[in-house]
Each structure stands twice: as structure tokens, then as C-alpha cells.
């Protein structure tokens, strides 16, 4: 299983849910969830089938009005 963690600027559950739905539609192999209680407003992406492409996901999120950067592991 591959996991990537991103710091975001998402601050509402409604916006997080919208982004998760869009991620699941666009990247069918990804499982996404937000931890808005974390100070970094974390987005976790899991994928069992393929390598996660952070740059592609960050560009997708930016196109949807969201700042995101990979958190170092």
C-alpha cells in the first residue's frame, strides 16, 4: 500500500468532502480523507494499485482552489 500525506489550506468539512468526492471521481484508484483537526489540515491519499503521483494531485487540487504540499515522511 502506498500512502502520501499533504498539508492543505482546507478549513471546512464541506469543502473537504467536495474535494474527496472529486479526487475519487478523477483518481479512481485513490482513497482520500482529510484530518481537519490537525494543524496542517492533512489530506491522506492511499493507493493499493499504483504509485501516487504527488505533482499531479497537487495540480488537481490547485485547479480546485486548494493549496497543498507534500509533508515529509
| pLDDT tens for each residue of 15-71 | 999 999 999 999 999 999 999 999 999 999 999 888 999 999 999 999 999 999 999
Query: Looking at residue 22, what is its pLDDT?
Result: 97
Query: Looking at residue 68, what is its pLDDT?
Result: 97
Query: Looking at residue 20, what is its pLDDT?
Result: 98
Query: Looking at residue 60, what is its pLDDT?
Result: 97
Query: Looking at residue 50, what is its pLDDT?
Result: 83
DSSP string, the chain: -EEEEEEE----HHHHHHHHHHHHHHSTTEEEEEETTSTT-EEEEEESSS---HHHHHHHHHHTT--EEEPP-
Residue 73: pLDDT over 80: no
Amino acid at each position: 500500500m502506498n500512502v502520501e500525506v499533504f498539508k492543505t489550506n482546507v478549513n471546512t468539512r464541506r469543502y473537504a468532502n467536495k474535494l474527496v468526492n472529486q479526487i475519487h471521481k478523477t483518481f479512481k484508484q485513490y482513497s482520500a480523507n482529510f484530518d481537519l483537526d490537525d494543524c496542517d489540515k492533512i489530506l491522506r491519499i492511499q493507493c493499493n494499485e499504483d504509485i501516487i503521483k504527488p505533482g499531479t494531485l497537487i495540480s488537481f487540487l490547485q485547479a480546485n482552489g486548494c493549496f497543498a504540499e507534500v509533508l515529509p515522511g
